Every structure is written in structure tokens, then in C-alpha cells.
């Protein structure tokens, strides 16, 4: 009964209010009646002591009254205990339900926070992966561009290096040929500027005829940084002289009528200027 009341009633319903009202009335009645019965029983016992003839009958009746009073005295206690159980059960159920609601609410909030945190971590991870992929693509692109650039540069350098080597080899073939001032034939004789012009012409490179004009073409190069095939100019007796640098501190040039085309050290005379005609 107590469980039934705790599950299907609340203190605010009319039936429960009536129950509590009856309880209060019973509390009053059930306190007064036991007192009356106990007093009546006590009075009867006193009469029995005085009246010896009806003593047995009166004592028996008085004892019954006292017992009824005692029994009735305990009824309010039972009622109070019952109602307190119902109330405590109701309160316990209310607290339990409230605690369950709070627990569910807290679990839902915690789940929501965890989902938000997981979503944020997932989005940050995806963003990081995309940034890393982008950086990797850019790195690969830069490496590819650098590779292509180096490839073209090496190709250009190899081509220029090959041209320089071939030009020097070609010039050296005419060592021992005669020097003729104003000459333009490598086999029959040339002067210094004719020699350089004809050697370069063989490789499709056009330069002016005289040293005074050749010195002003191409790109100036420091004497210490000359490469094979570069021109080197000297100021011999106020007249410009030109030679081809062949590497290793050596030059090949049409030195003069006495020597013809020969190989010399760069420092055979005071160098005036270095010029690079071949682009590399």
C-alpha cells in the first residue's frame, strides 16, 4: 500500500490531503480515548479494591479497558509511521527522479561537449593535413622548377663549355702558321685580330675586324677569371694586341712576323683587359 501510494500519488492531490486531515483527527481522538479508557480502568480497579464482592468482575473489566487504551494509544504511532514512510518514499522518489533528470542532463551536456571537441579536433586535423598537402605540393613544384632551371643552366653551361673547348682546339690547330698584317686566311697568314675574328667566325660568332673595335664588344672579365675562348687584350707599343685564352694561364695568338701563331703565357706582356664573347 505504501509503495502504491508513493508511485501513484503526491501530497498535493485531494485524496492525500484528506488522508493527512484524517490522520490529524485520529491523532487527537486516539490520544484522548486511551487516556479516558485508562482513567476509567484505574477508577474501576479502585472501586474493586473498595468493594470486595464484585472485585473479580470489576478488575477483569478494568484490565480490558486499560488494554484497549494502551492498544489505541499505539494506533497514532502506527499511522504517523505509515504516513512518514509514504512521505519519505515520495520525497525519495522525487529526489531520485530529480537526480536522474540531472544525471541525464549532465550526461547529455557532457556528450555534447565531447562531440564538439571531437568535431573541432577532426576539423583541425583535416585543416592541418590540407596545409601539409599544400606545402608538399608547393615544395615539389619548387623542386621541379629548380630542377628544370638547373637542367637548362647545365645544358647552357655544357653547350658553352663544349663551344669553348672546341674553339680552343680549333685555334690550336693553326699554331705555327705565319703572321701577315691585314691577313684573313688562317692557313696563309693572319694578324692578331684577323686570327681571333676567323676563329670565332668558324663557330658562327661575328666580331669586328680590328683590335680597337673588338675590345669594345662582349662582356668585360677580370684577368684572373678568364675562361677558355675569352679574348685578352694587351697594349703593345701603344697598339692594341689581342689573343685567345686557352686555359692554364696560357694564350694562343698571332704574335708577329718573327713568331707567327704561337702559344704564350698570359703574362708574356701586361694584360690590359679581358672580354667574354661566348654567352654562358
The pLDDT of 127-147, averaged and rounded, is 85
Distance CA 274, CA 44 (A): 155
pLDDT band at 153 (very low <50, low <70, confident <90, very high): low
Structure confidence by residue, pLDDT tens digits, 16-53:
667 677 767 766 776 676 677 667 767 766 666 666 55
Q: Which of 101-110, 143-152, 207-216 has the lowest mean pLDDT?
A: 143-152
Q: What is the pLDDT of residue 155?
A: 52
Q: Which of 145-154, 220-229, 267-276 has the lowest mean pLDDT?
A: 145-154
pLDDT > 60? residue 91: no
Q: What is the pLDDT of residue 149?
A: 72
Q: Which residue has the higher pLDDT, 88 or 263?
A: 263
The pLDDT of 239-268, averaged and rounded, is 94
Q: What is the pLDDT of residue 277?
A: 95
- Report the topology of domain 173-276: endopeptidase fold (from Nostoc punctiforme) (3.90.1720)
| 273 three-class SS | strand
* CB distance 245 to 256 below 8 Å: no
Q: What is the pLDDT of residue 258?
A: 94
* CB distance 234 to 245 below 8 Å: no
The pLDDT of 86-113, averaged and rounded, is 70
pLDDT band at 85 (very low <50, low <70, confident <90, very high): low
Q: What is the pLDDT of residue 8?
A: 44
Q: What is the pLDDT of residue 248?
A: 93
Highest mean pLDDT among 79-88, 155-164, 244-253: 244-253
What are the boundaries of each domain within the chain? 2-111, 173-276
pLDDT > 70? residue 263: yes
pLDDT band at 201 (very low <50, low <70, confident <90, very high): very high
pLDDT > 60? residue 135: yes
Chain-centre distance for alpha carbon 150: 33
Q: What is the pLDDT of residue 28?
A: 72
Q: Phi first, then psi: what are they for 153, rounded to 5°?
A: -65, -45
Structure confidence by residue, pLDDT tens digits, 235-250:
866 668 999 999 999 9
Q: Which residue has the higher pLDDT, 60 or 219?
A: 219
Q: What is the pLDDT of residue 191?
A: 97
Q: What is the pLDDT of residue 45?
A: 66
Instruction: Check: pTM over 0.75? Answer yes or no.
Output: no
pLDDT band at 110 (very low <50, low <70, confident <90, very high): confident
Q: What is the pLDDT of residue 257?
A: 94
Q: What is the pLDDT of residue 5?
A: 44
Amino acid at each position: 500500500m505504501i509503495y502504491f501510494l508513493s508511485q501513484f500519488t503526491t501530497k498535493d492531490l485531494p485524496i492525500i490531503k484528506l488522508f493527512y486531515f484524517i490522520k490529524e483527527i485520529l491523532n487527537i481522538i486516539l490520544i484522548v480515548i486511551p487516556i479516558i479508557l485508562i482513567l476509567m480502568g484505574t477508577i474501576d480497579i479502585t472501586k474493586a479494591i473498595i468493594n470486595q464482592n464484585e472485585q473479580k468482575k470489576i478488575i477483569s473489566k478494568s484490565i480490558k479497558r486499560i488494554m484497549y487504551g494502551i492498544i489505541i494509544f499505539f494506533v497514532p504511532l502506527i499511522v504517523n509511521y505509515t504516513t512518514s514512510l509514504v512521505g519519505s518514499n515520495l520525497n525519495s522518489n522525487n529526489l531520485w527522479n530529480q537526480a536522474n533528470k540531472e544525471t541525464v542532463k549532465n550526461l547529455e551536456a557532457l556528450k555534447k561537449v565531447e562531440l564538439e571537441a571531437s568535431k573541432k579536433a577532426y576539423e583541425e586535423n583535416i585543416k592541418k593535413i590540407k596545409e601539409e598537402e599544400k606545402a608538399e605540393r608547393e615544395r615539389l613544384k619548387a623542386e621541379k622548377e629548380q630542377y628544370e632551371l638547373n637542367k637548362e643552366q647545365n645544358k647552357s653551361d655544357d653547350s658553352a663549355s663544349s663551344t669553348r673547348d672546341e674553339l680552343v682546339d680549333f685555334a690550336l690547330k693553326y699554331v705555327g702558321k705565319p703572321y701577315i698584317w691585314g691577313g684573313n686566311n688562317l692557313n696563309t697568314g693572319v694578324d692578331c685580330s684577323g686570327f681571333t675574328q676567323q676563329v670565332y667566325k668558324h663557330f658562327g660568332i661575328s666580331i669586328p675586324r680590328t683590335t680597337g673595335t673588338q675590345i669594345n664588344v662582349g662582356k668585360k672579365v677580370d684577368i684572373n677569371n678568364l675562361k677558355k675562348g675569352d679574348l685578352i687584350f694587351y697594349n703593345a707599343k701603344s697598339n692594341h694586341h689581342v689573343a685567345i685564352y686557352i686555359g692554364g694561364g696560357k694564350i694562343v695568338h698571332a704574335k708577329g712576323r718573327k713568331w707567327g701563331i704561337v702559344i704564350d703565357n698570359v703574362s708574356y706582356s701586361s694584360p690590359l683587359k679581358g672580354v667574354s664573347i661566348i654567352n654562358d
